[in-house]
Amino acid sequence: MATVILAAGLAGLASLLIKSIGGTGQAENHTAASLLADSLATTIRLSRGHEAMFLSDVTSAPDCSHITCAPDQFAAYSLAQWQDSVASSLPDGKGVTCMDGSPEDGTAASPECDGVGTLAIKVFWRAPLLQGPTAQRHAITVFP
């Protein structure tokens, strides 16, 4: 009988440990998403008057790290660098910028940008199965 109670206790302890480790990983991903979104928001605010240039999808961008670029080129370069950082920092990470009146919606496959409201930065990623819901999202709005 004592063995059964001990085994149940150890199983419960193992389950608690697994959930704790999973929660730590999810917190790290959410912190990374928050920092990435805030970083792009700062870049957009520093580009006062050129916020709309950060709304387009980037197909190609010049390397503005060693040359002087026009504002539209700098926006494309910054957005491309940011999207690369999101993709490399988060599991299945995807970053989107859009005009959205309700930024706390959407998924990576369908960001649900309605084209009105304020400039929104949405970051999507996938959490491991043991860490709760698999689709995760962090969104902020940018007020110039």
CB atoms within 10 A of CB 33: 25
Determine phi and psi for 141, rounding to 5 degrees: -110, 150
Structure tokens at 83: 């999207």
27-41: pLDDT as tens digits: 899 999 999 999 999
| Whether 142 contacts 51, CB under 8 Å | yes
pTM given for the model: 0.78
The total of structural domains in the chain comes to 1
- What domain range includes position 136? 2-142
Confidence of residue 136 (pLDDT cuts 50, 70, 90): confident
